[in-house]
Amino acid sequence: MRKYLAIFISLFVSSTLFANESRVCQKCHPIIYQEYTESSHKNASTYNNPIHKALWEIHPKDSQGYKTCAKCHSPSDLKALNEGVLEDNEIQKNAPISCVYCHSIKMVEEGEGSNTNVLTDKKREFYTAEQAKKGKPKASYETKSSWFGLVKESRNSPYHKIEYNNENYYSGNVCMGCHSHTNNEHSFDITMLDAMIDKKDKNTCITCHMPQIAGTKVTINETKTHAYHGIAGIYHMNKEMGKYLEFQVDKTTQGFQVKIRNKSNHALFGQSFREGVLDVSIIRDAKVINLKPFIFTRILGKDAQEVMPWDADMTLKDSLIYAKKDIMFPVKLQDGDSLKLTLSVRRISKEKAKELGLNNKKLTKKRVLKVQTFSF
């Protein structure tokens, strides 16, 4: 009886620790943990992401169950990942993509249908990027005494070792296990990120979406800045993304042309049902003239009809922003006019939200990425 009780307690403790592994990180990384709780990573599961939930509920289920989705939406839930079983549990709600998971990615294995994250088999040994420590041995916890042992200084984490030499964390390639491509059973890419990680790229997933901001990354040894773990973009710090976009306006004989230059390394607004919106207004003689917005979207289809992503084998419409996008407006600008451009993004278009029965206005709210005014 004691033997079985010990096994039960051991399993219970292990599962509880795994379910709350990100909360363990909170003790030494309170600022980063708070950012994580509001991030797209924490909100990736069906229990936290209403769009993902709505799509999963109508998705045609097969013998794999939730396995394919869990690979990126809740890889920390081993039952969902290995057995395809989706349950209401602590991992799904609080850490579907945990801190430990992301910092344990040793390498990314490229695949035709999608990529795969390969994790380290070393317990409590995590990867991170810090340029000043690159090339140095992995960091382990240690204390340094001074003043005859009266003063002790702690260095590194008492909970885990830190490896600073994984190039994937410097190049941004660590994100490519999930943020590269996802092909459905028709070998058709339904995410269309077109992300390309190259040493020549000035911008990476990390520099754009995890910029250095004020605040210490750890309480043991305070730092002035840390990498933002709320993931800048669709959820937070939307206007931070504006720095990677350039606007130019040229007058023509027919009207004017707006030129958008995308300095990131992937297409914008390519995820299923996502929508970019360019609002254009002319201020003339103290009056505001609002032009018809330009919509950036990708509509998927089959047999020339719009279908759900898992059924698609063709693109019916593609107005996304790749490296550049030129848009013509047949309205002539006059001397003294001011032209205001506002580029926003919706997590899901109003039409698709209605179709999926999603009434939460936050989902269709326009999140401003960049605003710029031109004078003529």
Residue 90 inside a domain? The answer is yes
Model confidence pLDDT, tens digit, residues 93-117: 999 999 999 999 999 999 999 999 9
pLDDT score recorded for residue 139: 82
Does residue 173 belong to any structural domain of this protein? yes
pLDDT at 20: 62
Q: Would the pLDDT of 283 be above 70?
A: yes
* Positions of E strands within 147-286: 151-155, 161-163, 212-214, 225-227, 245-251, 256-262, 275-284
My answer on whether 191 and 255 are in the same domain is no
Q: Which two tokens stand for residue 142?
A: 């240690």
Closest residue by Cα to residue 15 from 95, 69, 86: 95
CB burial class (10 A; 0-12, 13-18, 19+) of residue 290? exposed
Res 15 pLDDT > 90 = no
Residue 36 lies in a domain: yes
Q: Tell me the mean pLDDT in the region 195-200.
A: 58
* Residue 147 pLDDT: 62
Q: Which of 142-146, 169-173, 180-184, 249-253 shows the lowest mean pLDDT across its residues?
A: 142-146
Of residues 295, 302, 240, the one with CA closest to residue 269: 295
Statement to judge: residues 220 and 181 lie in one domain: yes
Q: Are 331 and 302 contained in the same domain?
A: yes
Closest listed residue to residue 218, CA positions, set 210, 228, 206, 226: 226
Does residue 353 carry a pLDDT above 60? yes
pLDDT 10s digits, 42-85: 999 999 999 999 999 999 999 899 999 999 999 999 999 999 99
CA 56 from chain centre, in angstroms, equals 19
If one counts the domains in the chain, the total is 2
Give me the pLDDT at residue 138, please: 87
The pTM is what?
Answer: 0.88
- Alpha carbons 73 and 56: distance in angstroms, whole number: 11
Tell whether 48 is covered by a domain. Answer: yes
Residue 49 per-residue DSSP state: -
Q: Are 276 and 297 in contact (CB under 8 A)?
A: yes
Same domain, 317 and 191: no
Indicate if 222 and 329 belong to the same structural domain.
no
Confidence of residue 197 (pLDDT cuts 50, 70, 90): low
SS3 content of the chain, % helix, strand, coil (to 5): 25, 30, 45
Q: How confident is the model at residue 196 (pLDDT cuts 50, 70, 90)?
A: low
Q: Which of 177, 207, 227 is the last residue of a domain?
A: 227
pLDDT for residue 1: 42
Between 210 and 151, the more confident residue is 210
In this model, does residue 160 exceed pLDDT 80? yes
The answer to whether position 144 is within a domain reads: no
Domain identity same for 187 and 328: no
Domain boundary among 200, 227, 254: 227
Q: What are the two backbone dihedrals, phi and then psi, of residue 298, each rounded to the nearest 5 degrees?
A: -135, 120
Length of the chain counted residue by residue: 376
Which H or E element spans position 54? helix 50-58
Phi-psi region of 77 (alpha: psi -120 to 50; beta: other; left: phi over 0): beta
Report pLDDT digits (tens) over 325-338: 999 999 999 999 99
Look up residue 88 and give its amino acid. Answer: D
pLDDT band at 141 (very low <50, low <70, confident <90, very high): confident
**CATH number, position 282:** 2.60.40.10
Same domain, 250 and 300: yes
Computed on alpha carbons and rounded to an integer, the radius of gyration of the chain in Å comes to 24
**Domain around 286:** 238-375
Mean pLDDT in residue range 279-286: 96
Q: What would the DSSP string read from start to end of 274-335?
A: -EEEEEEEEEETTEEEEPPPEEE-EEEEETTEE--GGG--EEEEE--BSSEEEEEE-----T
Domain identity same for 314 and 192: no
Domain endpoint, select from 202, 227, 252: 227
Q: What is the mean pLDDT of the chain?
A: 89
Question: Within this chain, do residues 253 and 307 fall inside the same structural domain, yes or no?
Answer: yes
CB 227, CB 209: distance < 8 Å: no
The residue-averaged pLDDT of 257-271 equals: 92
Are 356 and 305 within 8 A, CB to CB?
Answer: no
Percent of the chain with pLDDT over 90: 76
pLDDT at 3: 39
pLDDT at 4 exceeding the cut of 60:
no
CB atoms within 10 A of CB 11: 10
Residue 75 main-chain phi, psi, to 5 deg: -65, -15
- If you average pLDDT over residues 2-15, what whole number do you get? 37
Residue with the bigger pLDDT between 153 and 33: it is: 33
Judgement on whether residues 28 and 85 belong to the same structural domain of the protein: yes
